[in-house]
Amino acid sequence: MTMNHLAEVARKIAATTFAIEAAGALALGFIWFKELGARAFYLGLFHSVSAFNNAGFDLFGSFRSLSRFAEKELVLIVFMLLVVLGGLGFVVIWELRHFRDGHRFSFHSRVVLQTTIVLLLIGFAAAFAMEAANPQSLGELTVSERIINALFLSVTPRTAGFATVNVAHLSQSFLFLTIILMFIGASPGSTGGGVKTTSAAAVFSARLCSIRRRKNVNLCRRQIAPETVDKAETIIFLSAALVICTTLLLNLTEDAPFLDLLFESASAFGTVGLSTGVTPFLSVPGKIAVMVTMFVGRLGPLTLAFALGRKGKNLIEYPKGSISLG
């Protein structure tokens, strides 16, 4: 790739980001204008940038996040669109622009879109089933508001970090599912973290093919190269090891329920920002552990491992051995 091509890609990314964030800022500004006046457009710009970049920062007060908008469906729809677009990756966004022109999606985009839709549907169905009757989360809302907020609960673990309800009041079952969604995160080339949707799809397909005793790993009518599956498995293994180690450290240094600390670790790894409320009360060692996890999670466990590790040389080839499994 030449420097000219890199510069063109950078300009295209900047233009795409500006266009989406400007549209989000105007949409939020006009929605909030009646209530907030001219300041609505500043708030719209800040939260549009925060949502598209999956930052999760808001200007509505500590621990309140977007709870004041739980009954304002249009606001939540704008936020969800920004978060999802930011989590898809720029390559997929560019292909979506040409969808009406008869453009066929690339294999990468098909995997990203299908995996994203499946995860969003699973999260939405689980949120509605587990939280619709919970008076501390969605139970006090109308049916339409429950639907929008359940979908929002499915979108925000994509490393967005916004919340319309108190996360600490969610059921333990949905908290655990949220941990899984945060761990998977967004897609490659996006503004989000996690192990990425493509890694999860590749490993899931590989294990499914293994169960069916198929030699090749197939996904979306394409065959995935073995080295791609190996890389995806390595990413997930290293990421899971990091979350486990962070959780163990937090259990040694903090006085909080295990699930809350596991949630904190997964949120830090995926650079999500959601918390059940234990973050302000972490000890100094606990805060350091969380900060290191956020840094490694954003950098990428595989990238860090390759940077620190030495390339091995196969000077000796041992005879094959067999072990019993299962």
CA atoms within 13 A on the CB side of 294: 15
Asked if residue 8 is part of any domain, the answer here is no
Is 134:170 a contact under the CB 8 Å cutoff? Answer: yes
- In a domain? residue 1: no
What local confidence, expressed as pLDDT, does residue 242 receive?
94
- Alpha-carbon distance values, 277 to 14, 59, 86, 309 (Å): 35, 18, 26, 36
- Per the structure, the complete domain to which residue 175 belongs is given by 14-308
The angle, 0 to 180 degrees and rounded to 10, between the axes of the packed helices 107-131 and 90-97 is 100
Structure-token pair, residue 168 = 């600490």
Q: Any residues with CB less than 8 A from the CB of 147 and at least 6 apart, and which?
A: 128
In a domain, 204, yes or no: yes
How far is residue 186's CA from residue 196's CA, in Å, rounded to a whole number?
Answer: 5
Indicate whether 319 belongs to any domain.
no
Q: How far apart are CA 30 and CA 23, in angstroms?
A: 11
As a residue count, the chain comes to: 326
Whether 163 maps to a domain, the answer reads yes
> Tokens in use for 212?
């069916």
323 falls within a domain: no
Contacts 24+ apart (CB under 8 A), 144-151: 144/73, 145/70, 145/71, 145/73, 148/73, 148/76, 148/77, 149/70, 149/76, 150/124, 151/80, 151/120, 151/124, 151/127
pLDDT of residue 287: 96
Say what angle helices 301-308 and 226-253 make with each other, to 10 degrees. 100
Number of domains in the chain: 1
Residues whose CB is less than 8 angstroms from the CB of residue 4 and which lie 6 or more positions away in sequence, other chains included: none
Measured over all CA atoms, what is the biggest interatomic distance in the chain, rounded to whole angstroms?
Answer: 75
What pLDDT is stored for residue 312 in this prediction?
A: 60
Return the residue matching tokens 């621990």: 63
Q: Look up the pTM and report it.
A: 0.91
- pLDDT values of the chain reduced to their tens digit, one per residue, 326 residues: 566 788 888 999 999 999 999 999 999 999 999 988 989 999 999 999 999 998 888 888 755 678 889 899 999 999 999 999 999 999 999 998 877 666 788 999 999 999 999 999 999 999 999 999 999 999 999 999 999 999 999 999 988 889 999 999 999 999 999 999 999 999 988 888 899 999 999 999 999 998 988 888 888 888 999 899 998 999 999 999 999 999 999 999 999 999 999 999 999 999 998 999 999 999 999 999 999 999 998 887 777 666 656 666 666 777 877 676 66
CB atoms within 10 A of CB 215: 6
Q: What pLDDT score was predicted for residue 325?
A: 67
Residue 162: phi and psi, rounded to 5, are -85, 160
- Residue 118 counted as domain residue: yes
DSSP state of 218: E
Q: Give domain status of residue 81, yes or no.
A: yes
The one-letter amino acid code at 262 reads L
